[in-house]
A and B are shown apart, each in its own frame.
Chain A
Amino acid sequence: QNTLKESGPALVRPRQTLTLTCSFSGFSLLTTQVAVGWIRQPPGEALEWLALIYGDDTKVYSPSLRSRLTITRDTSSNQVVLTMTHMDPVDTGTYFCARSLLLASPFDLWGQGTTVTVSS
């Protein structure tokens, strides 16, 4: 069964670094065109794509957040990790990881999301 699940802290202090883990099963991130990405959603707002990593370790980032994001993968443990530095209250929201199967394709499978609150 193909699944993704996000994990990470529910509360982060301003200026701290957020580290989120996406654990997936049922597919491999060793295939070149398969990718796992991160998308976030502030409360009551729209979806925003953040970053994506392909099976060949190619990484793509949102230009507006590029300086704060790092995406990595651990193929042995089937995990993708996203770090976001210098967290701010505007970064509060639900963070989703999702799968993409081709170089140009939508997100066909999503995790349930993890909620992150940035507050002192």
Chain B
Amino acid sequence: EIVMTQSPATLSVSPGERVTLSCRASESVKSNLAWYQQKPGQAPRLLIYYTSIRATGVPGRFSGSGSGTEFTLAISSLQSDDFAVYYCQQYDDWPRTFGLGTKVEIK
């Protein structure tokens, strides 16, 4: 199975800062990579799919990039609503696999 590795595990940032989250696949997933945001007690919410396409209603401060095995989620100016755990997921092959997540916390 394709292993998804996210880094860092935790990011401590201040509101207004730019953050970059990384996701690496153990083999190429082409552009079939999604990012989800999950807040405590809630279901994951799709943010980005096909590497760089924002899902409906997702603010423009979220952007995705990469291809093959290296991917990045960037948040241009962190808002209070953005403190959460972010997961990447590949949907290029079976089984579908998720990374272990990056927690973005308030510094």
Q: Are the chains A and B members of one assembly?
A: yes
Contact, CB under 8 Å: A110 / B44: yes
A108 to B50, CA, bound (A): 12
Binary B-proximity of A89-105 (CB < 8 A = 1, otherwise 0): 00000001010100011
User: CB-CB < 8 A to A106: which residues of B?
Assistant: 34, 36, 46, 49, 89, 91
Name, among A39, A61, A107, A113, the residue most crowded by chain B CB atoms within 10 Å (CB to CB).
Answer: A107
Count of B interface residues, CB-CB < 8 Å? 23
For residue B90, which residue of chain A has the nearest CB?
A: A106
Chain A, interface SS category: strand
Contact, CB under 8 Å: A104 / B46: no
A112 to B44, CA, bound (A): 9
Contact, CB under 8 Å: B44 / A47: yes
Interface size class of A (residues with CB under 8 A): 20 to 34
| A56 close to chain B: CB less than 8 A | no
Contact, CB under 8 Å: B43 / A46: no
A97 to B43, CA, bound (A): 10
Contact, CB under 8 Å: B100 / A46: yes
A105 to B90, CA, bound (A): 9
Residues of B within 8 A of A (CB): 1, 32, 34, 36, 42-46, 49, 55, 87, 89, 91-92, 94-101
Residues of A within 8 A of B (CB): 37, 39, 46-49, 52, 60-64, 96, 98, 100, 104-113
